[in-house]
Amino acid sequence: MNDDSTASEQRLIRLESVRNQGRATHVQSKILRREDITEDLWLIWIEKPEGFIFKAGQYCTIGHDGVERAYSIVSAPHEETLELFIELVPLPDGVLTPKLWELGVGNTVSIRPRAKGRFVFKPSLPNQLLVATVTGVVPYVSFVRDYFHANKTGHHFYIIEGASYKNELVYDTELAALATEHPDMITYIPTLSRPTEERNAGWSGETGRANEVVESWITDLGLFPEDTIVYACGHPGMIEDVKAKLLPRGFPLEEERFWKQD
């Protein structure tokens, strides 16, 4: 092999290396903080990879031991870390979450270097009705954090969040505070489906499933298809019921299903 062919081969090797780098599918991200909420709900904050960008409402794909799943990002794009709200799906049904449950500060997860997802803020209509169950509130928290950080105006976010127990309303303090500070921009309506159980002692707020109360709140709030876009995120059963009730009435609707299956 002459020198010219050797140089050409080396150039091809370098080019293939660059191509492989461009197709890199994972980087490692360290867990910086963890907060356990219940026996099956917890928060983690992980390093944001260099150059990782996303829109409020999008998801990242993380993994451990070769298993990957997608998780919507709680953080707004300007935040320095990626905040995730995760529900444990126990064995034998759970595949990734039991592995993540065992991890703590200092451990690492893999993360794909690009965020994805189309469940993002749609600014075309002034009223934004956001319906969620438990972890389904995640993209909405990202929406409103980003909205206020960017000093945007002209929209009102009506957030209906359903849960079985009050300690599953993980972002209720944050959202209620925003509603108090900005009543012309945020209305937060948490609702519990099991209000009489001991874990919910002292509850005095709305009761019933989110999909059961949504129509009455639409009426009370004076929302109409002409000025309101509906988002439904969380349990597939909730989403199907909201669609069955609101699509025939002409409300535009965006959906994001958070399956229980891991």
pLDDT profile of the chain (262 residues), mean per 10: 37 40 77 98 98 97 96 98 96 93 98 96 98 98 98 98 98 98 98 97 97 98 98 97 98 87 63
Structural contact between residues 122 and 229, judged by C-beta atoms closer than 8 angstroms: yes
Going along the chain, which residue ranges are E strands? Answer: 27-36, 41-47, 59-64, 67-72, 81-87, 108-111, 127-133, 156-163, 186-192, 206-207, 228-234, 253-257
Which pLDDT belongs to residue 260?
Answer: 58
What is the gyration radius of the CA atoms in the chain, in angstroms?
22
Closest-CA residue to 163 (of 72, 41, 76) = 41
Which pLDDT belongs to residue 244?
Answer: 98
Closest-CA residue to 70 (of 61, 79, 78) = 61
All domains of the chain, ordered by start, with CATH?
Answer: 27-111 (2.40.30.10), 127-257 (3.40.50.80)
Backbone phi and psi for residue 221, each to the nearest 5 degrees, phi listed first: -85, -10
Look up tokens 């957030």; give the residue.
159
Between β-strands 41-47 and 81-87, what pairing exists: parallel, antiparallel or unpaired? antiparallel
Which pLDDT belongs to residue 25?
Answer: 78
pTM of the entire predicted model: 0.89
Which pLDDT belongs to residue 23?
Answer: 54
Backbone phi and psi for residue 258, each to the nearest 5 degrees, phi listed first: -105, 100
Look up tokens 């009370």; give the residue.
220
- Residues contacting residue 163 through CB under 8 Å, at least 6 positions apart: 133, 134, 169, 190, 191, 192, 193
Which pLDDT belongs to residue 7?
Answer: 43
Amino acid at 179: A
Which pLDDT belongs to residue 259?
Answer: 65
